Chain A
Amino acid sequence: MTQPLVAPAADTGADVAPPVRRRGRWIPYLLLLPGLLWLAIFFVLPMLTVASTSLQEGSLAQGYELTWRLANYTEAAQRYAAQFSRAFLFAAASTVLALVVSYPLAYFIAFKAGRWRNLLLLLVIAPFFTSFLIRTLAWKIILSDSGWVVGTFQTLGLLPEQGRLLATSVAVIAGLTYNFLPFMTLPLYASLEKIDRSLIEAATDLYASPFTAFWKVTWPLSLPGVVAGTLLTFIPAAGDFVNVRFLGTPSQSMIGNVIESRFLVVLDYPTAAALSFTLMLAILLLVGLYVRRAGTETIV
Protein backbone atom coordinates (compact mmCIF):
# COMPACT_ATOMS: atom_id res chain seq x y z
CA MET A 1 0.00 0.00 0.00
CA THR A 2 2.95 2.34 -0.22
CA GLN A 3 2.28 2.74 -3.92
CA PRO A 4 -0.07 5.77 -3.76
CA LEU A 5 2.48 7.44 -1.53
CA VAL A 6 5.32 7.23 -3.99
CA ALA A 7 3.42 7.73 -7.22
CA PRO A 8 1.98 11.26 -6.80
CA ALA A 9 5.20 12.62 -5.38
CA ALA A 10 7.20 11.18 -8.25
CA ASP A 11 5.00 11.99 -11.23
CA THR A 12 4.01 15.52 -10.28
CA GLY A 13 7.64 16.56 -10.34
CA ALA A 14 7.62 17.63 -13.99
CA ASP A 15 4.45 19.70 -14.38
CA VAL A 16 4.48 21.70 -11.16
CA ALA A 17 6.70 24.65 -10.36
CA PRO A 18 9.84 23.53 -8.52
CA PRO A 19 9.09 23.23 -4.82
CA VAL A 20 11.12 25.00 -2.22
CA ARG A 21 11.92 21.79 -0.40
CA ARG A 22 11.49 18.44 -2.10
CA ARG A 23 11.15 16.73 1.26
CA GLY A 24 8.03 18.73 2.16
CA ARG A 25 5.99 17.41 -0.74
CA TRP A 26 5.70 14.00 0.83
CA ILE A 27 4.16 15.31 3.99
CA PRO A 28 0.49 15.75 2.95
CA TYR A 29 0.30 12.22 1.56
CA LEU A 30 1.86 10.80 4.71
CA LEU A 31 -0.67 12.73 6.79
CA LEU A 32 -3.60 11.58 4.67
CA LEU A 33 -2.64 7.95 4.23
CA PRO A 34 -3.74 6.34 7.53
CA GLY A 35 -7.06 8.18 7.79
CA LEU A 36 -8.07 7.74 4.18
CA LEU A 37 -6.93 4.13 4.17
CA TRP A 38 -9.18 3.51 7.17
CA LEU A 39 -12.14 5.09 5.38
CA ALA A 40 -11.35 3.12 2.23
CA ILE A 41 -11.38 -0.20 4.08
CA PHE A 42 -14.24 0.42 6.49
CA PHE A 43 -16.46 2.74 4.47
CA VAL A 44 -15.83 2.39 0.71
CA LEU A 45 -15.24 -1.36 0.76
CA PRO A 46 -18.41 -2.02 2.83
CA MET A 47 -20.45 0.12 0.42
CA LEU A 48 -19.09 -1.90 -2.50
CA THR A 49 -19.89 -5.11 -0.62
CA VAL A 50 -23.45 -3.93 -0.03
CA ALA A 51 -23.76 -3.14 -3.72
CA SER A 52 -22.59 -6.62 -4.64
CA THR A 53 -24.68 -8.34 -1.94
CA SER A 54 -27.75 -6.52 -3.21
CA LEU A 55 -27.36 -8.31 -6.56
CA GLN A 56 -27.01 -11.78 -5.11
CA GLU A 57 -29.45 -14.65 -5.19
CA GLY A 58 -29.91 -17.70 -3.04
CA SER A 59 -30.97 -18.72 0.43
CA LEU A 60 -29.39 -18.66 3.84
CA ALA A 61 -29.02 -22.45 3.85
CA GLN A 62 -27.42 -22.78 0.41
CA GLY A 63 -25.50 -19.56 0.48
CA TYR A 64 -25.81 -16.49 -1.69
CA GLU A 65 -24.28 -16.05 -5.10
CA LEU A 66 -23.73 -12.98 -7.24
CA THR A 67 -26.11 -13.29 -10.19
CA TRP A 68 -26.63 -9.57 -10.89
CA ARG A 69 -30.25 -10.02 -9.90
CA LEU A 70 -31.65 -6.51 -10.30
CA ALA A 71 -35.09 -7.83 -9.36
CA ASN A 72 -33.95 -7.56 -5.74
CA TYR A 73 -34.34 -3.83 -6.13
CA THR A 74 -37.71 -3.79 -7.84
CA GLU A 75 -39.11 -6.36 -5.41
CA ALA A 76 -37.79 -4.49 -2.40
CA ALA A 77 -39.10 -1.19 -3.73
CA GLN A 78 -42.55 -2.65 -4.30
CA ARG A 79 -42.74 -4.45 -1.01
CA TYR A 80 -41.40 -1.68 1.17
CA ALA A 81 -42.60 1.45 -0.61
CA ALA A 82 -44.79 2.32 2.38
CA GLN A 83 -41.87 2.11 4.82
CA PHE A 84 -39.71 4.19 2.51
CA SER A 85 -42.26 6.96 2.15
CA ARG A 86 -43.06 6.85 5.88
CA ALA A 87 -39.36 7.23 6.73
CA PHE A 88 -39.05 10.31 4.52
CA LEU A 89 -42.36 11.74 5.70
CA PHE A 90 -41.58 11.28 9.40
CA ALA A 91 -38.05 12.59 8.93
CA ALA A 92 -39.34 15.66 7.07
CA ALA A 93 -42.00 16.34 9.72
CA SER A 94 -39.53 16.03 12.58
CA THR A 95 -36.99 18.22 10.74
CA VAL A 96 -39.56 21.00 10.34
CA LEU A 97 -40.61 20.68 13.98
CA ALA A 98 -36.99 20.72 15.12
CA LEU A 99 -36.46 23.92 13.11
CA VAL A 100 -39.53 25.50 14.70
CA VAL A 101 -38.35 24.58 18.19
CA SER A 102 -34.68 25.42 17.61
CA TYR A 103 -34.73 28.65 15.64
CA PRO A 104 -36.15 30.92 18.35
CA LEU A 105 -33.98 29.19 20.94
CA ALA A 106 -30.82 29.64 18.87
CA TYR A 107 -31.91 33.22 18.10
CA PHE A 108 -32.36 33.98 21.78
CA ILE A 109 -28.96 32.52 22.70
CA ALA A 110 -27.17 34.35 19.87
CA PHE A 111 -28.81 37.77 20.23
CA LYS A 112 -30.38 38.18 23.66
CA ALA A 113 -28.55 35.97 26.09
CA GLY A 114 -25.55 38.24 26.70
CA ARG A 115 -23.13 36.73 29.17
CA TRP A 116 -25.39 33.73 29.75
CA ARG A 117 -24.73 32.59 26.21
CA ASN A 118 -22.20 29.86 26.97
CA LEU A 119 -24.18 28.51 29.90
CA LEU A 120 -27.31 28.31 27.77
CA LEU A 121 -25.44 26.51 25.01
CA LEU A 122 -24.23 24.05 27.59
CA LEU A 123 -27.81 23.55 28.78
CA VAL A 124 -28.89 22.84 25.21
CA ILE A 125 -26.29 20.09 24.75
CA ALA A 126 -26.40 18.59 28.24
CA PRO A 127 -29.67 16.58 27.98
CA PHE A 128 -28.19 14.64 25.08
CA PHE A 129 -25.63 13.01 27.31
CA THR A 130 -28.18 10.84 29.08
CA SER A 131 -27.79 8.35 26.22
CA PHE A 132 -29.96 8.10 23.13
CA LEU A 133 -31.88 5.00 24.18
CA ILE A 134 -32.49 6.11 27.77
CA ARG A 135 -34.01 9.43 26.75
CA THR A 136 -36.21 7.69 24.18
CA LEU A 137 -37.43 5.37 26.94
CA ALA A 138 -38.09 8.47 29.06
CA TRP A 139 -40.42 9.72 26.32
CA LYS A 140 -42.20 6.41 26.55
CA ILE A 141 -42.99 7.24 30.18
CA ILE A 142 -43.95 10.85 29.39
CA LEU A 143 -46.33 9.87 26.58
CA SER A 144 -47.78 6.81 28.32
CA ASP A 145 -51.55 6.38 28.53
CA SER A 146 -51.65 7.16 32.25
CA GLY A 147 -49.17 10.06 31.98
CA TRP A 148 -50.02 13.72 32.50
CA VAL A 149 -49.44 14.66 28.85
CA VAL A 150 -52.21 12.38 27.63
CA GLY A 151 -54.38 13.50 30.57
CA THR A 152 -53.89 17.19 29.76
CA PHE A 153 -54.55 16.61 26.07
CA GLN A 154 -57.79 14.81 26.91
CA THR A 155 -58.96 17.57 29.25
CA LEU A 156 -58.22 20.17 26.60
CA GLY A 157 -60.16 18.12 24.09
CA LEU A 158 -57.12 17.60 21.85
CA LEU A 159 -57.43 13.87 22.28
CA PRO A 160 -60.61 11.78 22.52
CA GLU A 161 -61.49 10.04 25.78
CA GLN A 162 -59.77 6.79 24.90
CA GLY A 163 -57.18 8.43 22.67
CA ARG A 164 -53.51 7.73 23.15
CA LEU A 165 -50.20 9.17 22.06
CA LEU A 166 -47.89 6.24 22.63
CA ALA A 167 -47.88 3.73 19.76
CA THR A 168 -48.95 6.39 17.25
CA SER A 169 -47.16 8.30 14.49
CA VAL A 170 -47.33 11.39 16.71
CA ALA A 171 -45.16 9.70 19.33
CA VAL A 172 -42.65 8.54 16.73
CA ILE A 173 -42.35 12.02 15.19
CA ALA A 174 -42.09 13.56 18.66
CA GLY A 175 -39.27 11.17 19.52
CA LEU A 176 -37.42 11.83 16.26
CA THR A 177 -37.79 15.58 16.77
CA TYR A 178 -36.42 15.46 20.27
CA ASN A 179 -33.55 13.08 19.66
CA PHE A 180 -31.85 15.04 16.89
CA LEU A 181 -32.55 18.54 18.20
CA PRO A 182 -28.97 19.57 19.02
CA PHE A 183 -27.97 18.84 15.41
CA MET A 184 -30.41 21.59 14.48
CA THR A 185 -29.79 24.07 17.29
CA LEU A 186 -26.00 24.17 17.13
CA PRO A 187 -25.56 24.96 13.39
CA LEU A 188 -28.38 27.52 13.64
CA TYR A 189 -26.65 29.17 16.57
CA ALA A 190 -23.29 29.12 14.79
CA SER A 191 -24.65 30.97 11.75
CA LEU A 192 -26.83 33.41 13.73
CA GLU A 193 -23.93 34.27 15.99
CA LYS A 194 -21.75 35.22 13.00
CA ILE A 195 -24.23 37.79 11.67
CA ASP A 196 -22.91 41.34 11.77
CA ARG A 197 -25.29 43.25 14.09
CA SER A 198 -24.73 46.51 12.23
CA LEU A 199 -26.53 45.04 9.20
CA ILE A 200 -29.70 44.58 11.24
CA GLU A 201 -29.27 48.05 12.75
CA ALA A 202 -28.86 49.51 9.28
CA ALA A 203 -32.15 47.90 8.24
CA THR A 204 -34.05 49.34 11.21
CA ASP A 205 -32.39 52.72 10.70
CA LEU A 206 -33.78 52.66 7.19
CA TYR A 207 -37.27 52.28 8.65
CA ALA A 208 -37.61 48.54 8.28
CA SER A 209 -39.98 47.14 10.88
CA PRO A 210 -38.38 44.57 13.20
CA PHE A 211 -40.22 41.89 11.27
CA THR A 212 -38.99 43.15 7.89
CA ALA A 213 -35.47 43.44 9.28
CA PHE A 214 -35.66 39.86 10.43
CA TRP A 215 -37.16 38.58 7.20
CA LYS A 216 -34.87 40.51 4.84
CA VAL A 217 -31.62 40.44 6.81
CA THR A 218 -31.40 37.95 9.68
CA TRP A 219 -33.21 35.01 8.08
CA PRO A 220 -31.32 35.05 4.75
CA LEU A 221 -28.01 35.36 6.58
CA SER A 222 -28.88 32.42 8.81
CA LEU A 223 -29.72 30.15 5.85
CA PRO A 224 -26.37 28.29 5.90
CA GLY A 225 -27.24 27.22 9.44
CA VAL A 226 -30.75 26.26 8.39
CA VAL A 227 -29.39 24.11 5.55
CA ALA A 228 -26.76 22.44 7.74
CA GLY A 229 -29.23 21.91 10.59
CA THR A 230 -31.99 20.44 8.45
CA LEU A 231 -29.54 18.03 6.79
CA LEU A 232 -28.02 16.93 10.09
CA THR A 233 -31.51 16.28 11.47
CA PHE A 234 -33.10 14.75 8.39
CA ILE A 235 -30.40 12.19 7.62
CA PRO A 236 -30.30 10.39 10.98
CA ALA A 237 -34.09 10.66 11.33
CA ALA A 238 -34.70 9.02 7.93
CA GLY A 239 -32.57 6.00 8.84
CA ASP A 240 -33.70 5.66 12.45
CA PHE A 241 -35.45 2.57 13.76
CA VAL A 242 -35.20 3.06 17.52
CA ASN A 243 -38.01 5.60 17.90
CA VAL A 244 -40.48 3.34 16.10
CA ARG A 245 -39.35 0.39 18.19
CA PHE A 246 -39.80 2.20 21.51
CA LEU A 247 -42.58 4.71 20.81
CA GLY A 248 -44.49 3.23 17.89
CA THR A 249 -45.82 -0.08 16.64
CA PRO A 250 -44.94 -2.21 13.60
CA SER A 251 -47.64 -0.37 11.66
CA GLN A 252 -45.50 2.79 11.86
CA SER A 253 -42.32 0.98 10.87
CA MET A 254 -39.81 2.96 8.83
CA ILE A 255 -37.25 1.73 6.33
CA GLY A 256 -34.63 1.51 9.09
CA ASN A 257 -36.76 -1.07 10.88
CA VAL A 258 -36.99 -3.16 7.72
CA ILE A 259 -33.24 -3.02 7.06
CA GLU A 260 -32.53 -3.93 10.66
CA SER A 261 -34.83 -6.92 10.75
CA ARG A 262 -33.90 -8.15 7.25
CA PHE A 263 -30.21 -8.03 8.17
CA LEU A 264 -30.23 -9.16 11.80
CA VAL A 265 -33.38 -11.23 12.27
CA VAL A 266 -34.53 -12.66 8.92
CA LEU A 267 -30.96 -12.83 7.53
CA ASP A 268 -32.26 -12.02 4.05
CA TYR A 269 -29.05 -10.28 3.06
CA PRO A 270 -29.74 -9.46 -0.62
CA THR A 271 -33.02 -7.65 0.15
CA ALA A 272 -31.49 -5.90 3.16
CA ALA A 273 -28.51 -4.79 1.08
CA ALA A 274 -30.74 -3.58 -1.76
CA LEU A 275 -32.78 -1.52 0.72
CA SER A 276 -29.65 -0.16 2.38
CA PHE A 277 -28.13 0.88 -0.93
CA THR A 278 -31.37 2.44 -2.12
CA LEU A 279 -31.69 4.45 1.11
CA MET A 280 -28.13 5.68 0.72
CA LEU A 281 -28.68 6.75 -2.90
CA ALA A 282 -32.05 8.35 -2.12
CA ILE A 283 -30.55 10.40 0.69
CA LEU A 284 -27.53 11.47 -1.36
CA LEU A 285 -29.84 12.51 -4.18
CA LEU A 286 -32.07 14.50 -1.84
CA VAL A 287 -29.09 16.12 -0.15
CA GLY A 288 -27.62 17.07 -3.52
CA LEU A 289 -30.85 18.60 -4.80
CA TYR A 290 -31.50 20.39 -1.53
CA VAL A 291 -28.03 21.87 -1.25
CA ARG A 292 -28.15 23.04 -4.85
CA ARG A 293 -31.57 24.68 -4.38
CA ALA A 294 -30.68 26.23 -1.06
CA GLY A 295 -27.39 27.38 -2.51
CA THR A 296 -29.00 29.34 -5.34
CA GLU A 297 -31.55 30.84 -2.97
CA THR A 298 -28.87 32.20 -0.69
CA ILE A 299 -27.19 33.87 -3.65
CA VAL A 300 -30.50 35.44 -4.79
Chain B
Amino acid sequence: MTTFDNHRVTPWILLAPQLLVVAVFFFWPAFQALQQAFYVEDPFGLGRSFVWFDNFTRVLASPEYHRALGVTVAVGVGVAVGAMALALLLAVLADRVIRGARVYRSLLIWPYAVAPAVAGVLWMFLFDPGLGIVSHLLAGVGVRWDHHLHGDQALALVIIASIWKQMSYNFVFFLAGLQAIPRSLLEAAAIDAAGPWRRFWSITFPLLSPTTFFLLVMNSVYAFFETFGTIDATTAGGPGGATRTLVYKVYEDGVIGYDLGSSAAQSVILMLLVGLLTLIQFRYVERRVQY
Protein backbone atom coordinates (compact mmCIF):
# COMPACT_ATOMS: atom_id res chain seq x y z
CA MET B 1 0.00 0.00 0.00
CA THR B 2 1.15 3.51 -0.76
CA THR B 3 2.03 5.53 2.31
CA PHE B 4 3.59 8.80 3.32
CA ASP B 5 7.03 7.45 4.16
CA ASN B 6 9.15 10.56 4.28
CA HIS B 7 7.17 12.31 7.01
CA ARG B 8 8.89 11.72 10.35
CA VAL B 9 7.05 14.10 12.64
CA THR B 10 3.55 14.22 11.14
CA PRO B 11 2.44 10.76 12.30
CA TRP B 12 3.46 11.62 15.85
CA ILE B 13 1.46 14.81 15.79
CA LEU B 14 -1.50 12.83 14.51
CA LEU B 15 -1.10 10.17 17.17
CA ALA B 16 -0.34 12.48 20.07
CA PRO B 17 -3.88 13.22 21.28
CA GLN B 18 -4.94 9.58 21.29
CA LEU B 19 -1.70 8.38 22.86
CA LEU B 20 -1.91 11.01 25.55
CA VAL B 21 -5.48 10.19 26.52
CA VAL B 22 -4.78 6.48 26.49
CA ALA B 23 -1.62 6.88 28.55
CA VAL B 24 -3.24 9.01 31.21
CA PHE B 25 -6.62 7.35 31.48
CA PHE B 26 -5.80 3.83 30.56
CA PHE B 27 -2.21 2.83 31.19
CA TRP B 28 -1.68 4.81 34.33
CA PRO B 29 -4.77 3.35 36.06
CA ALA B 30 -4.13 -0.09 34.58
CA PHE B 31 -0.62 0.01 35.97
CA GLN B 32 -1.98 0.99 39.35
CA ALA B 33 -4.40 -1.93 39.19
CA LEU B 34 -1.56 -4.25 38.38
CA GLN B 35 0.40 -2.97 41.35
CA GLN B 36 -2.64 -3.11 43.62
CA ALA B 37 -3.10 -6.78 42.75
CA PHE B 38 -0.06 -7.64 44.83
CA TYR B 39 -1.20 -5.81 47.95
CA VAL B 40 -3.80 -6.12 50.65
CA GLU B 41 -5.03 -2.70 51.60
CA ASP B 42 -7.71 -1.16 53.81
CA PRO B 43 -10.45 0.77 52.01
CA PHE B 44 -9.19 4.23 52.98
CA GLY B 45 -5.68 3.52 51.82
CA LEU B 46 -4.18 4.12 55.24
CA GLY B 47 -1.87 1.14 55.02
CA ARG B 48 -1.03 -1.75 52.74
CA SER B 49 1.01 -4.91 52.85
CA PHE B 50 2.69 -6.78 50.02
CA VAL B 51 1.34 -10.31 49.66
CA TRP B 52 2.97 -11.65 46.48
CA PHE B 53 0.49 -13.74 44.49
CA ASP B 54 -1.86 -14.31 47.40
CA ASN B 55 -4.70 -12.32 45.81
CA PHE B 56 -4.45 -14.32 42.61
CA THR B 57 -4.32 -17.74 44.25
CA ARG B 58 -7.25 -16.86 46.49
CA VAL B 59 -9.37 -15.75 43.57
CA LEU B 60 -8.48 -18.68 41.35
CA ALA B 61 -9.15 -21.17 44.13
CA SER B 62 -12.49 -19.73 45.18
CA PRO B 63 -15.60 -21.65 44.13
CA GLU B 64 -17.42 -18.31 43.70
CA TYR B 65 -14.98 -17.32 41.01
CA HIS B 66 -15.50 -20.56 39.14
CA ARG B 67 -19.23 -20.08 39.46
CA ALA B 68 -18.93 -16.55 38.08
CA LEU B 69 -16.98 -17.92 35.11
CA GLY B 70 -19.80 -20.38 34.49
CA VAL B 71 -22.40 -17.63 34.70
CA THR B 72 -20.39 -15.48 32.30
CA VAL B 73 -20.28 -18.28 29.77
CA ALA B 74 -24.00 -18.96 30.23
CA VAL B 75 -24.88 -15.30 29.72
CA GLY B 76 -22.53 -15.12 26.74
CA VAL B 77 -23.97 -18.17 25.03
CA GLY B 78 -27.54 -17.25 25.93
CA VAL B 79 -27.31 -13.71 24.64
CA ALA B 80 -25.24 -14.52 21.56
CA VAL B 81 -27.35 -17.46 20.44
CA GLY B 82 -30.67 -15.91 21.42
CA ALA B 83 -30.06 -12.47 19.96
CA MET B 84 -28.49 -13.81 16.78
CA ALA B 85 -31.06 -16.52 16.10
CA LEU B 86 -33.95 -14.14 16.65
CA ALA B 87 -32.28 -11.42 14.60
CA LEU B 88 -31.56 -13.82 11.76
CA LEU B 89 -35.12 -15.09 11.73
CA LEU B 90 -36.55 -11.59 11.69
CA ALA B 91 -34.05 -10.42 9.09
CA VAL B 92 -34.95 -13.31 6.80
CA LEU B 93 -38.63 -12.51 7.23
CA ALA B 94 -38.08 -8.81 6.62
CA ASP B 95 -35.92 -9.58 3.58
CA ARG B 96 -38.66 -11.86 2.22
CA VAL B 97 -41.41 -9.31 2.36
CA ILE B 98 -39.19 -6.65 0.71
CA ARG B 99 -41.93 -4.09 0.87
CA GLY B 100 -41.80 -2.83 4.43
CA ALA B 101 -38.31 -4.09 5.26
CA ARG B 102 -37.24 -0.55 6.04
CA VAL B 103 -40.30 0.07 8.15
CA TYR B 104 -39.62 -3.05 10.17
CA ARG B 105 -36.03 -1.97 10.56
CA SER B 106 -37.18 1.34 12.01
CA LEU B 107 -39.56 -0.44 14.32
CA LEU B 108 -36.94 -2.87 15.56
CA ILE B 109 -33.79 -0.75 15.70
CA TRP B 110 -34.55 1.55 18.60
CA PRO B 111 -33.85 -0.75 21.57
CA TYR B 112 -30.19 -0.42 20.60
CA ALA B 113 -30.36 3.15 21.90
CA VAL B 114 -31.58 2.12 25.33
CA ALA B 115 -28.98 1.97 28.11
CA PRO B 116 -28.38 -1.56 29.43
CA ALA B 117 -29.42 -0.41 32.90
CA VAL B 118 -32.62 1.11 31.52
CA ALA B 119 -33.35 -2.08 29.58
CA GLY B 120 -32.95 -3.98 32.85
CA VAL B 121 -35.34 -1.69 34.69
CA LEU B 122 -37.97 -2.02 31.96
CA TRP B 123 -37.90 -5.80 31.95
CA MET B 124 -37.67 -6.06 35.70
CA PHE B 125 -40.97 -4.23 35.87
CA LEU B 126 -42.60 -6.73 33.50
CA PHE B 127 -41.31 -9.65 35.52
CA ASP B 128 -41.82 -8.18 38.98
CA PRO B 129 -43.19 -11.07 41.06
CA GLY B 130 -45.85 -8.86 42.59
CA LEU B 131 -46.75 -6.32 39.92
CA GLY B 132 -45.39 -7.67 36.67
CA ILE B 133 -47.70 -8.42 33.79
CA VAL B 134 -45.55 -11.26 32.46
CA SER B 135 -45.15 -12.94 35.83
CA HIS B 136 -48.90 -12.60 36.21
CA LEU B 137 -49.49 -14.35 32.89
CA LEU B 138 -46.95 -17.02 33.80
CA ALA B 139 -48.77 -17.65 37.06
CA GLY B 140 -51.85 -18.34 34.92
CA VAL B 141 -50.06 -21.25 33.25
CA GLY B 142 -48.68 -22.54 36.52
CA VAL B 143 -45.19 -21.03 36.50
CA ARG B 144 -44.37 -19.22 39.70
CA TRP B 145 -42.00 -16.52 38.59
CA ASP B 146 -39.79 -15.07 41.27
CA HIS B 147 -36.36 -14.02 40.09
CA HIS B 148 -35.53 -12.95 43.64
CA LEU B 149 -35.52 -16.61 44.57
CA HIS B 150 -34.84 -18.76 41.54
CA GLY B 151 -31.41 -18.40 40.03
CA ASP B 152 -32.38 -19.78 36.62
CA GLN B 153 -35.22 -17.28 36.35
CA ALA B 154 -32.95 -14.39 37.31
CA LEU B 155 -30.45 -15.52 34.69
CA ALA B 156 -33.26 -15.76 32.17
CA LEU B 157 -34.38 -12.23 33.00
CA VAL B 158 -30.89 -10.82 32.44
CA ILE B 159 -30.55 -12.75 29.19
CA ILE B 160 -33.98 -11.67 27.93
CA ALA B 161 -33.31 -8.00 28.66
CA SER B 162 -29.92 -8.26 26.95
CA ILE B 163 -31.34 -10.05 23.93
CA TRP B 164 -33.98 -7.37 23.63
CA LYS B 165 -31.32 -4.70 23.51
CA GLN B 166 -28.77 -6.53 21.38
CA MET B 167 -31.15 -8.05 18.85
CA SER B 168 -31.58 -4.80 16.93
CA TYR B 169 -27.85 -4.47 16.32
CA ASN B 170 -27.70 -7.99 14.90
CA PHE B 171 -30.83 -7.40 12.87
CA VAL B 172 -29.27 -4.43 11.09
CA PHE B 173 -26.24 -6.50 10.08
CA PHE B 174 -28.15 -9.57 9.04
CA LEU B 175 -30.64 -7.57 6.99
CA ALA B 176 -27.82 -5.71 5.22
CA GLY B 177 -26.03 -9.02 4.67
CA LEU B 178 -29.14 -10.60 3.20
CA GLN B 179 -29.87 -7.68 0.96
CA ALA B 180 -26.34 -7.86 -0.42
CA ILE B 181 -26.84 -11.41 -1.63
CA PRO B 182 -27.38 -11.36 -5.40
CA ARG B 183 -30.98 -12.17 -6.28
CA SER B 184 -29.80 -14.10 -9.30
CA LEU B 185 -28.24 -16.76 -7.11
CA LEU B 186 -31.45 -17.39 -5.26
CA GLU B 187 -33.51 -17.27 -8.41
CA ALA B 188 -31.24 -19.82 -10.03
CA ALA B 189 -31.73 -22.07 -7.03
CA ALA B 190 -35.47 -21.55 -7.24
CA ILE B 191 -35.42 -22.66 -10.87
CA ASP B 192 -33.60 -25.80 -9.70
CA ALA B 193 -36.73 -26.31 -7.59
CA ALA B 194 -34.95 -25.86 -4.29
CA GLY B 195 -37.47 -24.96 -1.54
CA PRO B 196 -37.01 -21.88 0.63
CA TRP B 197 -35.67 -24.01 3.49
CA ARG B 198 -32.95 -25.58 1.36
CA ARG B 199 -32.18 -22.30 -0.37
CA PHE B 200 -31.55 -20.72 2.97
CA TRP B 201 -29.20 -23.34 4.33
CA SER B 202 -27.28 -24.09 1.14
CA ILE B 203 -26.89 -20.56 -0.21
CA THR B 204 -27.91 -17.77 2.11
CA PHE B 205 -26.43 -18.97 5.38
CA PRO B 206 -22.92 -19.75 4.07
CA LEU B 207 -22.83 -16.32 2.41
CA LEU B 208 -23.71 -14.76 5.74
CA SER B 209 -20.94 -16.50 7.62
CA PRO B 210 -18.54 -13.52 7.84
CA THR B 211 -21.36 -11.41 9.28
CA THR B 212 -22.27 -14.21 11.65
CA PHE B 213 -18.74 -14.54 12.88
CA PHE B 214 -18.33 -10.83 13.37
CA LEU B 215 -21.61 -10.66 15.27
CA LEU B 216 -20.60 -13.61 17.40
CA VAL B 217 -17.56 -11.66 18.56
CA MET B 218 -19.53 -8.46 19.13
CA ASN B 219 -22.26 -10.28 21.03
CA SER B 220 -19.75 -12.07 23.24
CA VAL B 221 -18.09 -8.77 24.09
CA TYR B 222 -21.49 -7.31 24.82
CA ALA B 223 -22.43 -10.21 27.06
CA PHE B 224 -19.08 -9.98 28.80
CA PHE B 225 -19.07 -6.29 29.67
CA GLU B 226 -22.23 -4.44 28.76
CA THR B 227 -24.55 -6.74 30.69
CA PHE B 228 -23.05 -5.09 33.77
CA GLY B 229 -25.63 -2.32 33.70
CA THR B 230 -28.50 -4.73 33.24
CA ILE B 231 -27.36 -6.98 36.07
CA ASP B 232 -26.68 -4.09 38.39
CA ALA B 233 -30.12 -2.64 37.79
CA THR B 234 -32.07 -5.90 38.06
CA THR B 235 -30.56 -8.72 40.12
CA ALA B 236 -27.31 -7.28 41.50
CA GLY B 237 -25.67 -10.65 40.94
CA GLY B 238 -28.25 -12.65 42.87
CA PRO B 239 -30.00 -14.77 43.86
CA GLY B 240 -27.36 -17.04 45.24
CA GLY B 241 -24.78 -15.62 42.83
CA ALA B 242 -26.75 -16.94 39.87
CA THR B 243 -26.22 -13.79 37.79
CA ARG B 244 -22.80 -12.74 39.01
CA THR B 245 -20.55 -12.50 35.99
CA LEU B 246 -16.79 -11.99 36.15
CA VAL B 247 -17.10 -8.27 35.47
CA TYR B 248 -19.81 -7.90 38.06
CA LYS B 249 -17.61 -9.67 40.59
CA VAL B 250 -14.73 -7.28 39.96
CA TYR B 251 -17.09 -4.40 40.61
CA GLU B 252 -18.73 -6.04 43.61
CA ASP B 253 -15.49 -6.92 45.37
CA GLY B 254 -13.83 -3.63 44.59
CA VAL B 255 -16.57 -1.04 44.79
CA ILE B 256 -19.01 -2.62 47.25
CA GLY B 257 -16.62 -4.82 49.23
CA TYR B 258 -13.62 -2.43 49.17
CA ASP B 259 -11.30 -5.41 48.72
CA LEU B 260 -9.09 -3.53 46.29
CA GLY B 261 -6.37 -6.17 46.12
CA SER B 262 -8.68 -8.99 45.16
CA SER B 263 -10.60 -6.79 42.75
CA ALA B 264 -7.40 -5.67 41.08
CA ALA B 265 -6.20 -9.26 40.78
CA GLN B 266 -9.47 -10.12 39.08
CA SER B 267 -9.08 -7.16 36.72
CA VAL B 268 -5.67 -8.48 35.73
CA ILE B 269 -7.05 -11.96 35.12
CA LEU B 270 -9.89 -10.48 33.08
CA MET B 271 -7.42 -8.41 31.11
CA LEU B 272 -5.54 -11.56 30.19
CA LEU B 273 -8.73 -13.40 29.29
CA VAL B 274 -10.11 -10.64 27.12
CA GLY B 275 -6.67 -10.07 25.66
CA LEU B 276 -6.74 -13.65 24.48
CA LEU B 277 -10.17 -13.19 22.94
CA THR B 278 -9.07 -9.98 21.25
CA LEU B 279 -6.04 -11.76 19.81
CA ILE B 280 -8.24 -14.42 18.30
CA GLN B 281 -10.49 -11.75 16.86
CA PHE B 282 -7.52 -9.90 15.45
CA ARG B 283 -6.07 -12.95 13.82
CA TYR B 284 -9.37 -13.31 12.06
CA VAL B 285 -9.54 -9.65 11.11
CA GLU B 286 -5.90 -9.57 10.00
CA ARG B 287 -6.46 -12.52 7.75
CA ARG B 288 -9.36 -10.87 6.00
CA VAL B 289 -8.00 -7.39 5.61
CA GLN B 290 -4.55 -6.77 4.17
CA TYR B 291 -2.40 -3.91 5.26
Partners in one complex: no
